[in-house]
Amino acid sequence: MTEQTPEATAVQTSGENADPQADLSVETSAEKTTAVDGSPAKTSPTKTSPAKTSAGKVRAEPVARTRRPGKPKVDPVLAAAVALAHDALYEIADPAQVGDHLGVTAEEDRLLTHRFAADKPGYRGWEWFVTVARAPRAKLVTVCEIGLLPGEDTLIAPPWVPWLERMNDEEREAHKAEQAEADEG
């Protein structure tokens, strides 16, 4: 017996010698799907929408899922993976430099970032981060990325200013004099 999948299957409905492009219909019923052992498969029908074939006939095609708008939700399996995130950080940092768990942020569905305080000398206010993910319906958590980012109270360098804009009046005059000498000589 032939195994069929629950996806839409095109079947020729005319006679044996019929043109392959002619008269196609689509079966989407779960009742006509059977398992390898011959028992009926327990599947649900596929959502379909009408579409035209090259012969002008209407056939069904699967309807694409629409992206749900709004903020991604925190996945409970990923949120519980604090120990895995700690262990991943210990591969790049001394355990004494990894502080308390500060929280989690949902980046996307099934993609979450754990944040930890960084007790690293010279990095006051910085935070370790570990991004974890999992596949749909899977319980296995995967570490995607590890790193160190500045926190909200971090002392960071000011924006870079070009050297010509940082010079005071005396330095500008000396620079203009040097340029004039270089142009003359």
The angle at the Cα of 43, spanning 40 to 44, to the nearest 5 degrees, equals 130
pLDDT tens for 63-96 read 666 666 678 899 999 999 999 999 999 999 999 9
Is the separation of the CB atoms in 44 and 6 below 8 Å?
Answer: yes
Q: What is the pTM of this model?
A: 0.51
Give the pLDDT score at 60.
65
pLDDT tens for 27-63 read 333 334 344 444 454 444 444 455 555 666 666 666 6
Please state, for a pLDDT cut of 90, what percent of the chain lies above it: 39
In whole angstroms, give the CA distance from residue 55 to residue 88: 57
User: Residue written as tokens 């708008």?
Assistant: 69
